[in-house]
Chain A
Amino acid sequence: MQKEAAIREPLVLGHKTYHDVTQDVCRPIEDKAPKMWYILFGIALVIGLYGVGSIMYLLGTGVGVWGLNKTIGWAWDITNFVWWVGIGHAGTLISAVLLLFRQKWRMAINRSAEAMTIFAVFMAGTFPLIHMGRLWVGYWVMPIPNQFGSLWVNFNSPLLWDVFAISTYLSVSLVFWYIGLIPDFATIRDRAKKPLAKKMYSILSFGWSGRAKHWNRFELVSLVLAGLATPLVFSVHSIVSFDFATSVVPGWHTTIFPPYFVAGAVFSGFAMVQTLLLIMRKAMGLEAYIHTKHVEYMNIVIMVTGSIVGTAYITELFISWYSGVEYESYAFINRATGPYWWAYWSMMTCNVISPQLMWIRRLRRSLLFTFFISIVVNIGMWFERYVIIVTSIHRDYIPAAWSMHFPSHIDIAVYIGTIGLFFVFFLLFARFFPVLALNEIKTILKGSGQSYKESPDYHKHH
């Protein structure tokens, strides 16, 4: 058992026993769902189905239903893709990087953050797939032997790197998440009273029994997966940034893109985690496990990554002028003062100014303020991608080709639809899955539980 400094705020509030932890996490799954759950699920499902319908229409008609034109060939589709992938970065960062750094506070949030990651990457994956137009030949992105004169995919292309990066990231995150879920499913299985629930959780828990040897393997597998997932997190968004950075478009071929994208991804991912968890902890009565201290830690991450993003924006701006290339500097001047000035300044306000407010302790410990900022950051990060993608290509070298992008209603419907689908998945997760890594929480109860901290000789009387 690890001892922790007494002045540190306990990670688990209240006088919880092992059994209380099990009770608190399993209760929302075993009880009937509250009315609010059905209402939210209904709304999310309707929006999600509208999105699915729009995607069907898009596939049936062609990519022409989007508001793209001959100058702006990439707009909302790739913006949404990068936005969702970015959001999908927090989960694995929390569970992998924070595991390597032995940050115990991750245990309360890693499960739901990882679930969010997986669903966000599902949503992200939708965009490149439908953007192909002919979804049914989507398997052509794989190096599969074929009858086209043994024509292979281009391994020199960042777009193919993306295929590998996203699929590796998605599948490894899924495995990491599920390996952690198995013991918790076993807990629910052993408590289940209804035969159907017992059967379902029995299948899901793979017959887990908690032997010492299994736990020994479990801990090593978690550690090695964390070690593998950590460079993976950084590689995925780096590779996403290569989609732009390896091009020759001014405003895109920027060498600082990889670190800048990764910081931005973590920034937006943590913001989404805050948005979801602040509601979830209230709705599911988990205030003792996810409390102000956790929110504060996450706000500090948001502040740090937000500052990296801000520095990157300003560096980019400076270098565009310092490079002495007029096309390069035009791309950036046009961003700030051209027809898309409003998008640029929304991005600057949301991403550069708002995280700086987190320096104030009272604000970063305020749940209401955090919720507000988390929404602001997510809006800002969507604009960041929009600004990078659309403003860089809307005015190219031939002024006759200059153009503006106006989203069609299908653009908007597909985007909003993915948000709906994301919440459908997340609400199902919150209803049927243990939203906290309950067995992992038990390991920190003695090191960092409130009652154990308040009376240091608590366990001596046993």
Chain B
Amino acid sequence: MSDKVLYVMYDDDEVLKNSAKKLVAKGVKIAEVFSPFPIHGIDSIIGVKNTRLGIMAFLYGLTGLTLATIGMRFLMITDWPMNIGGKPNFSYLENMLAFVPISFEFTVMCAAHGMAITYLLRNKTLPGMPAQNPDPRTTDDKFVMEIRLSDNQNISEADLDGMLQEIGFFELDKKEIK
């Protein structure tokens, strides 16, 4: 099914935010916003849910801590209990203090890398991926709203044009996509 996409460009983040607010109030669904930097407050206007990457970071951290604990317990207590200066490693608990630094470091390492990798995969931003922004200026000083006609079945294209003319914009670009 072919679809028509409107790219509405603005030259200021505040102006885009106000226009988005007005459009959403009129029942227009905005599919996406492209901007050179994070526009604070845009997420709730266009209905972008908060990311759950923080929870993932916590889970990765927990994994790291578990792995470090299991690993050090096996290596230092079970497999080869070292006797250093007449102080043998009898149990994990007795030697816990010596294991704190590495437990911490490994937790942080797993949390940070796990989260970063998930972030890149979820964004689909990986080395060599093609750029997806509609206009190269959106990484400089322009801000673009993407409105899909298929998302707005109950509003005709002419109505939408009228609304946009009334609200104002910097540039308007329409594109057919298959």
| Interface positions of A (Cβ within 8 A of B) | 1, 17-19, 22, 143, 150-156, 158, 160-161, 164-165, 167-168, 171-172, 175-176, 179, 182-183, 186-187, 189-191, 202-221, 224-225, 228-229, 231-232, 235, 239, 242, 439-440, 442-443, 446, 459, 462
Contacts and interface: CB of A to CB of B under 8 A. Distances in A.
Nearest to A223: B54
Given A210-B138, A212-B32, A459-B12, A217 B84 contact: no
A209 B101 contact: no
Contact of A443 (B38, B126, B128): B38
Most buried by B among A205, A213, A218, A242: A213
B136 A190 contact: yes
A167 B82 CA distance: 25
A191 B141 CA distance: 12
A contact face: mostly helix, strand, loop, or mixed? helix
A151 B75 CA distance: 9
B104 to A, nearest CB: 6
A205 B43 CA distance: 23
B129 A207 contact: yes
A225 B116 contact: yes
A236 B129 CA distance: 35
Nearest to A225: B112
A216 B125 contact: no
Interface in B12-32: 12, 14-15, 32
B122 interface: yes
B109 A171 contact: yes
Interface residues of B, number: 66
A220 B38 contact: no
B150 interface: no
Contact of A156 (B14, B51, B95, B138): B95
B90 interface: no
B169 interface: no
Contacts of A216: 38, 43, 48, 50-51
Contacts of A150: 79-80
Nearest to B74: A152
A183 B119 CA distance: 14
Contact of B132 (A171, A207, A224, A439): A207
Nearest to A215: B38
A175 B101 contact: no
A1 B111 CA distance: 30
B112 A165 contact: no
Contact of A235 (B53, B101, B124): B101
Given A171-B109, A220-B51, A231-B108, A439 B37 contact: yes
B140 A161 contact: no
8 contacts: A164-B101, A207-B129, A207-B132, A212-B32, A213-B32, A214-B125, A231-B108, A462-B12
A118 B138 CA distance: 30
Contact of A161 (B43, B89, B101): B101
B155 interface: no
A186 B108 contact: no
A89 B163 CA distance: 53
A22 B130 contact: no
Interface in B97-132: 98-99, 101-102, 104-106, 108-109, 111-113, 115-116, 119-120, 122-132
B35 to A, nearest CB: 5
A177 B40 CA distance: 22
A212 B79 CA distance: 51
B91 interface: no
B53 A220 contact: yes
B139 interface: yes
Given A210-B34, A217-B122, A217-B123, 13 more contacts: A1-B40, A18-B140, A151-B80, A156-B84, A171-B112, A172-B112, A183-B37, A189-B131, A203-B128, A212-B35, A225-B112, A459-B12, A462-B15
Contact of A228 (B80, B108, B119): B108
Contacts of A22: 36, 140-141
Most buried by B among A205, A210, A443: A210
Interface string B32-61: 111111111011001010110110010001
Contacts of B43: 212-213, 216
A214 B38 CA distance: 9
